C-alpha cells in the first residue's frame, strides 16, 4: 500500500489557502497512486490558532472546510488535523483531532490525549484530553493514530531538584494492546536547536520500544514567533530512521508500507549542522512573517556592528535586496569606520542606504532639557536619547514607506536589559532576539563560509553601542563568552545561581548578571515578537512576573 507524507506550510485562519494547499497535495498524491496521504496537526486552521478557538464561527469554519476537503477524497484517504466539538456534557468544548477522510466523509477520528502546558504551549486552555484509545483498521493494516505530544509521554520533567515523567498515561502503551502494525503521528512541533536530538530520540525510542514502524508528518514554515522545521520521519520497527524529509521546506513524498516492513535501508547521513539550521530557521521566520502579514518591505538601522550586519544579511536572503533598506544614523560618538563598514556591507548586498546624522535632533534635546538637567552630569539618559532619536527616524521611514522595522538586538542584550526601551528595542519583529552573542559570531562565519559577505572589520571590532566616548559593551557587561554561559545555564537549564559554573565565572559575576536579568523583565515585556530558535525564548516561552522579588 502506498502512502504520502505532506509536509506543508499553513497560515493560521487562512482557510481557503490551507484548503487549496491540502487539496493540491491530495491530487498530487493520487497522481502518484497513493492510497493514503498524511497531513499535520491542526492543518486545517493552522497551528497555533490560540484564542481564535474560542470563537464559534472559527470552529464552524474549520468543520465546513473539513467537509470540503473530504469531498476531494475519492479513491484516496487523507488524515488531516482540526478541532472538533466535544459533545460530552463535561470538559472543555473542543478536542484536538486527527480526522480520517475518505469518499466524502469522516471515517474515523482520534483525539489528542496529552496536552502540553509548558514552554510556548498552553493546549489545555482550549482542548479536552481524550482517554479513549482505538486503532484504525485500514486496508488490512491496523494503524495507531497519534497527535504530536501523544508519543512524548516518556520525556522527563528534568531540573536540578527532580526527575520524573511528565504524564501519567501513555497513549502508545494503550494502543499497543490492540496490536497495531503502524504508528502515525501528526504534529506541529516547533524548531529548537537544543531539541533536535531529543525529538529524534523520542520518535526512534517509541518505534523501537513497541517494535512498530512510525510515520511522522510535521508542518513547516513559521507563524509569527514559532518556526516549524518539518523534518518529518519514516522510522522502522528497530528505531532506525529510514527517511527524513527536508528541514524548513515544503515537500510531499510517497512511500509504501511494504518498504518499511521489508527493510527499507536506514539513512546514513545526518542532518545539517546546528548553525546551518539556525540560519535556515531565521530566514524562514522572516520570510513567513512578511508573507503572512501581507507586507513585503523591511527597514533596519545599520550601525556598522555585527548584530545589524547579520540581520541585514538574513533579511536580504528572506525578502530580496530590493525589499530591504537601511538607515545609517551616525552621532558625534560614531567612529568613521562604523559608517564606512556599514556602507561596504550595503554595497555588497546591493541594498539601498541613507545616511542621516542625529546630531541636530540630539542638540535640540540637549538645549531643551538643559534647564531641567542643570547641575547634573551626563549619564545613560543622554545615551538613551540618542537611541530613541534613531528609533523615531526608523519608524518614520517604516510608516511612510509601508515597511516593517526589524529589530537587531540579540538575546544576550535582551537578557540583561542592555538596550533602550523605545530606542534600539523598537521594531515589528526581533530577528536575533533568541540568538546569544557568541552564536552571532558562529552565524557570521556560516554566512561568510564561501565568500566574505560581512566585512572582516565588522567581525573583528570590539562590540560598542557608541553612545559615549570610547564606549565598549564590556564596560557594562562581562565578556560575552562568560555572560552567555551564565545566561544559558540560568535561562535554558534553569540552574540556581550557586550551581552555575564555568571558566571565568565567579559568584559575584553570576549574581550581578542574574540581578540584571530579573530587573529588566519589564523591558522584555514590551519588546517586539522574537523569532524562537531555542527551547527557552523570551516571550511566550518564558513567562515571569514583572514585580517579583525572587
Q: Which of 148, 242, 313, 403 is catalytic?
A: 148
What is the CA angle 488-490-493, rounded to 5?
Answer: 70
Residue 325 confidence (pLDDT): 98
The alpha carbons of the chain give a radius of gyration, in whole angstroms, of 26
Give yes or no: residues 254 and 398 share one domain: no
Mean pLDDT computed over 300-311: 96
Concatenating the DSSP letter of every residue in 25-36 gives HHHHHHHTT-SE
CB under 8 Å to 219, separation ≥6 — which residues?
Answer: 7, 8, 9, 10, 40, 41, 43, 47, 187, 188, 228, 230
CB under 8 Å to 468, separation ≥6 — which residues?
Answer: 333, 378, 382, 383
Q: Which of 19, 21, 112, 536 is catalytic?
A: 112
Residue 546 confidence (pLDDT): 84
CATH number at 240 reads 3.60.110.10
- State how far the Cα of 344 lies from the Cα of 16, in Å rounded to an integer: 44
Quick one: CA dihedral 521, 522, 528, 529, positive or negative? Answer: positive
Q: Is pLDDT of 270 > 60?
A: no
- What's the total number of domains in the chain? 3
Annotated active-site residue 376? The verdict is no
pLDDT band at 267 (very low <50, low <70, confident <90, very high): confident
Give yes or no: residues 112 and 239 share one domain: yes
Q: Which of 19, 41, 403, 437 is catalytic?
A: 41
Last residue of one domain, picked from the residues 247, 271, 295: 271
- State how far the Cα of 60 lies from the Cα of 105, in Å rounded to an integer: 16
- Does residue 398 form part of some domain? yes
Residue 271 confidence (pLDDT): 58
Residue found under cell 520521519 = 233
Annotated active-site residue 30? The verdict is no
- Burial track 463-477 (b if 16+ CB lie within 10 A, e otherwise): bbbbbbeebebeeeb
- Burial track 516-538 (b if 16+ CB lie within 10 A, e otherwise): bbeebbebbeebbbbbbbbbbbb
Mean pLDDT computed over 436-455: 96
- In 236-385, DSSP assigns E strands to 241-244, 251-256, 297-301, 324-328, 352-355
The domain in which residue 461 lies consists of 278-473+520-525
Inter-residue contact 84 to 109 (CB < 8 Å) = yes
- Does residue 531 form part of some domain? no
CATH number at 438 reads 3.40.50.620
pLDDT band at 213 (very low <50, low <70, confident <90, very high): very high
Pairing of strands 220-223, 182-187: unpaired
Q: What digits encode the pLDDT tens for the residues 101-152?
A: 999 999 999 999 999 998 999 999 999 999 999 999 999 999 999 999 999 9
pTM for this one? Answer: 0.95
Annotated active-site residue 132? The verdict is no
- Does residue 93 form part of some domain? yes
Inter-residue contact 72 to 23 (CB < 8 Å) = yes
Amino acid at each position: 500500500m502506498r502512502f504520502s507524507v505532506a509536509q506543508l506550510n499553513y497560515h493560521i485562519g487562512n482557510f481557503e489557502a490551507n484548503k487549496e494547499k491540502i487539496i493540491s497535495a491530495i491530487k498530487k498524491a493520487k497522481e502518484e497512486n497513493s492510497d493514503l496521504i498524511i497531513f499535520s496537526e491542526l492543518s486545517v486552521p493552522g497551528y497555533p490558532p490560540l484564542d481564535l478557538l474560542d470563537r464559534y464561527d472559527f470552529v464552524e469554519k474549520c468543520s465546513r472546510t473539513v467537509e470540503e476537503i473530504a469531498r476531494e477524497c475519492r479513491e484516496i484517504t487523507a488524515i488531516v488535523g482540526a478541532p472538533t466539538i466535544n459533545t460530552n456534557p463535561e470538559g472543555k468544548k473542543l478536542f484536538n483531532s486527527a480526522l480520517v477522510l475518505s469518499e466524502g466523509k469522516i471515517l474515523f477520528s482520534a483525539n489528542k490525549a496529552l496536552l502540553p502546558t509548558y514552554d510556548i504551549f498552553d493546549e489545555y486552555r482550549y482542548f479536552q484530553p481524550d482517554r479513549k484509545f482505538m486503532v484504525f483498521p485500514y486496508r488490512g493494516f491496523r494503524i495507531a493514530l497519534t497527535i504530536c505530544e501523544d508519543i512524548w509521554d516518556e520525556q522527563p520533567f528534568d531540573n536540578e531538584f527532580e526527575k520524573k515523567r511528565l504524564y501519567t498515561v501513555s497513549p502508545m502503551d494503550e494502543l499497543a494492546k490492540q496490536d497495531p502494525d503502524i504508528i502515525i503521528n501528526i504534529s506541529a512541533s516547533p524548531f529548537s536547536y537544543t531539541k533536535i536530538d531529543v525529538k529524534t530520540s523520542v520518535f526512534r525510542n517509541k518505534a523501537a520500544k513497541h517494535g512498530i514502524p512510525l510515520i511522522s508528518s510535521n508542518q513547516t514554515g513559521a507563524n509569527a514567533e514559532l518556526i516549524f522545521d518539518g523534518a518529518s520521519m519514516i522510522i522502522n520497527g528497530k528505531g532506525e530512521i529510514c527517511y527524513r524529509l527536508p528541514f524548513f521546506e515544503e515537500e510531499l513524498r510517497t512511500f509504501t508500507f511494504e518498504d518499511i516492513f521489508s527493510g527499507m535501508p536506514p539513512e546514513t547521513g545526518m542532518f545539517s549542522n546546528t548553525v546551518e539550521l539556525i540560519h535556515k530557521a531565521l530566514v524562514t521566520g522572516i520570510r513567513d512573517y512578511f508573507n503572512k502579514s501581507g507586507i513585503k518591505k523591511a527597514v533596519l538601522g545599520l550601525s556598522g556592528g555585527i548584530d545589524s550586519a547579520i540581520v541585514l544579511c538574513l533579511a536580504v536572503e528572506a525578502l530580496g535586496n530590493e525589499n530591504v533598506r537601511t538607515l545609517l544614523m551616525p552621532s558625534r560618538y560614531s567612529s568613521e569606520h562604523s559608517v564606512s563598514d556599514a556602507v561596504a556591507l550595503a554595497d555588497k548586498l546591493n541594498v539601498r542606504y541613507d545616511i542621516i546624522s542625529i546630531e541636530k535632533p540630539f542638540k535640540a534635546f540637549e538645549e531643551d532639557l538643559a534647564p531641567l538637567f542643570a547641575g547634573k552630569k551626563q549619564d545613560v539618559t543622554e545615551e538613551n536619547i540618542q537611541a530613541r532619536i534613531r528609533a523615531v527616524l526608523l519608524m518614520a521611514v517604516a510608516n511612510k514607506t509601508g515597511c516593517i522595522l526589524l529589530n537587531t538586538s540579540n538575546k544576550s542584550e535582551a537578557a540583561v536589559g542592555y538596550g533602550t526601551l523605545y530606542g534600539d528595542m523598537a521594531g515589528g519583529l526581533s530577528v536575533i532576539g533568541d540568538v546569544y552573542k557568541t552564536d552571532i559570531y558562529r552565524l557570521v562565519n556560516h554566512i561568510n563560509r564561501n565568500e566574505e559577505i560581512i566585512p572582516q572589520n565588522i567581525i573583528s571590532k570590539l562590540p560598542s553601542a557608541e553612545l559615549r566616548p570610547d564606549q565598549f559593551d564590556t564596560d557594562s557587561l562581562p565578556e560575552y563568552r562568560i555572560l552567555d554561559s551564565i545566561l544559558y545555564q540560568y535561562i535554558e537549564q534553569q540552574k540556581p545561581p550557586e550551581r552555575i559554573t564555568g571558566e571565568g565565572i565567579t559568584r559575584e559575576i553570576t549574581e550581578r548578571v542574574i540581578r540584571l536579568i530579573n530587573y529588566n523583565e519589564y523591558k522584555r515585556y514590551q519588546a517586539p515578537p522574537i523569532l524562537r530558535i531555542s527551547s527557552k525564548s523570551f516571550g511566550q516561552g518564558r513567562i515571569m512576573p514583572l514585580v517579583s522579588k525572587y
